[in-house]
Amino acid sequence: MQQPIDLPSHSDEIPSELGGLRLTKQRKVVYGVLLDLRDHPTAQDVFLRAKERMPSISLATVYNCLEALVVHKLVKQVNFDRSPSRYCPNLEEHVHFQDEATGEIHDVIFKKGVKLEDLLDLPQGVEVRELELTLKGLMPSSNQ
């Protein structure tokens, strides 16, 4: 059960790939789920939502699709401690804040012009390839 794009292949209006990723029906459903409600769902959450759109989809496929989307950098995998991974389609550089009152995860962006070197005492010459910053705390409103 694999179907890359539902358009005539001679069309060049809609890509059958996205960032080098072949867009199968299942991958489109999974990606669509993430784009439609950007609440940082777990794989299980995505699975339940995807099933509404494609009842035949399997959990294994959801994991496969999420993995493919992450590898191709269309989606970020977000980890808070060792709880189930969450998935985020926001491609802007950003970090994650979890409201301890509601459990909700919010995107937070860096201020303009901030550089890592200004922040951290990194050893001379290190090349930072990946950065993950997670925050927990309370939002003003959730503060009763």
Residues that bind a second copy (CB under 8 A): 77, 79, 81-82, 85, 95, 97, 100, 106, 108-111, 114, 118-140, 143
Query: Is the separation of the CB atoms in 142 and 102 below 8 Å?
Result: yes
Question: Which range, of 44-52, 60-68, 82-90, 133-141, touches Zn ion by CB under 5 A?
Answer: 82-90
Q: Which is nearer to a second copy, 16 or 77 (CB)?
A: 77
CB of 2 to Mn ion, least distance (A): 30
Query: Is the separation of the CB atoms in 84 and 45 below 8 Å?
Result: no
Q: Give the residues across from 99 on adjacent strands.
A: 137
DSSP assigned state of 11: -
Q: Give the residues across from 17 on adjacent strands.
A: 22
DSSP assigned state of 26: H
Q: Which of Mn ion, a second copy, DNA, none interacts with 4 (beta carbon under 5 to 8 A by kind)?
A: DNA
CB of 5 to Mn ion, least distance (A): 32
Q: Which residues bind DNA (CB under 7 A)?
A: 1-5, 9, 16, 22, 24-27, 42-44, 54, 56-61, 63-65, 67-68, 82, 84-85
CB of 88 to Zn ion, least distance (A): 3
Q: What is each CA distance from 12 to 15, 17, 28, 92, 110, in whole angstroms?
A: 6, 11, 18, 27, 37
